Structure 1
């Protein structure tokens, strides 16, 4: 059964939204008019310019507030639900010992030109994030953190050398869809380097990934913003268990 909702600003269902964007024009009255014209073409009616600021030479940042008539059908929303139990560290360790009878090996990296290691470090490093210890804290996991700007061939080589059960890749840089191109390149390289059904789990994460695109990108799982080490560890033992 459909359940329709509309954005909320001042009163329920008034359709008010706020959007921000940058135009490649210097800040003047013409620029402000262009921003309002763009907002109108986006469906904001009426559109109000609430902020405009010059950003360097020839660029202006805008914030526009206005009403949209669009409705959202909650019944038509597609999301990736967690299909595995969320486990404590001791439960993950116990399952690794029971299922593998050895340590589960995880290789992690930021690939391509991406030098932002905050995400991969939050998941892998023992200090973790949001009060949760990273995967290095798990006694039955062996973690190899390759750091930033790792080439795809080097990542594949490390996965083979370490006999990785899973490869975790973080992508923060998204200009010109670099995160998508890099992920497709990585998944293709692993398919070429491993026999069918023998490659490690491929897991990618980053704030701009769409979690429903795992199949399209050739990976086993996508984690988006807000993911914690516990979620990743729970997924890894679940997925490895499914393979054995």
Structure 2
């Protein structure tokens, strides 16, 4: 297929070669048969020139595979629409100036990994003073009182703390997503906020590797942030959304 500016396909060694790599686990012990099963799966996915480039025995009848192949199709990016957070990204200093000018007080921001989730890497990157990858966390913002409540915080405790601290925004991190447990956790939190009649008074944000803005909105959140998100992304949205609500 002759590709125009809007048609793209995977790139490996040369432009438009369609080369791609996939990894997955099969419930089979590692042997010649399971390797061929992995290769055949690649062909059934529409790949050509499929080969198993890496395999590993995981024990107890499971094996991990990486396959390499070529895809002959393409994607028309002109037909793609993305539901994303709409706000002007500001630097840390600009956020502080915005808060001072618009609200005249410090904002109370609470963050936590709720329910069964014990993985704090995401919420720590957003909340903690040192932040992540050179991006300072919300604790370093002069016009924010940022409280990181940590891991496995029950939704009931999170809501109670939000009421106690008169929170302006709640930041939720969900890393654990097996069997879609994050959907149940996130829904439980919005239900409790609604039951306490404070949902409309709080900016509610969720982040995680499988979180999209579209999913967050469907679950009743104001915004959803996926990978490659930093504190200033979240802070910019929170303060601008608060200002937008104040104008109503």
The two structures have a TM-score, normalised by structure 1, of: 0.93
1:77 positional shift: 2.1
Equivalent residue for 1:37? 40
1:108 maps to 2:111: yes
Find out whether 1:5 has 2:8 as its counterpart. yes
1:76 corresponds in structure 2 to: 79
For the residues of structure 2 that align with 1:218 and 1:91, how far apart are their CA atoms? 28
Gap regions ≥5 residues in structure 1: none
Q: Residue 171 of structure 1 corresponds to which residue in structure 2?
A: 174
The equivalent position to 1:120 in structure 2, one of 105, 119, 123, is: 123
- Measured in 1, the distance between the counterparts of 2:199 and 2:146 equals 24
> Aligned partners of 2:7, 2:169: CA distance in 1, in Å?
40
Equivalent position SS for 1:197 = helix
The 2-side partners of 1:243 and 1:38 are apart by 51
Give 1:89-238 correspondences, 5 Å limit: 89-194=92-197, 197-198=200-201, 200-238=202-240
Cα deviation for residue 195 of structure 1 reads 5.0
Q: Which deviates more, 108-117 or 179-188?
A: 179-188
Distance 1:182 1:37 in 2: 37
Contact 1:114 / 1:148 at 8 angstroms: preserved in 2? Answer: yes
- The Cα shift of 1:192 comes to 2.1
Distance 1:148 1:195, change over 3 A: closer
Q: Provide the C-alpha distance between the structure 2 equivalents of 1:195 and 1:168, rounded to a whole number of angstroms.
A: 15
4+ aligned runs moved over 4 Å, structure 1: none
Q: What's the TM-score once normalised by structure 2's chain length?
A: 0.92
Return the alpha-carbon distance in structure 2 between the equivalents of residues 178 and 36 of structure 1.
31
Q: Distance in 2 between matches of 1:202 and 1:195?
A: 11
Checking the alignment, whether the CA contact within 8 Å between 1:79 and 1:211 is kept in structure 2 is: no
Aligned equivalents of 1:28, 1:206: Cα separation in 2: 36
CA contact (8 A) 2:85 2:213 kept: no
Counterpart CA distance in 2 for 1:242 and 1:2 is 38
C-alpha RMSD over aligned residues: 1.7
Q: Per-residue CA shift, 1:159-188, capped at 9, x if unaligned?
A: 111111100011111111222221122122
CA distance in 1: counterparts of 2:170 and 2:7, whole angstroms? 40
**Partners of 1:5 and 1:128 in 2: CA distance:** 35
Looking at structure 2, the residues matched to 209 and 77 of structure 1 have their Cα atoms a distance apart, in angstroms, of 18
Unaligned runs of 5+ in 2: none
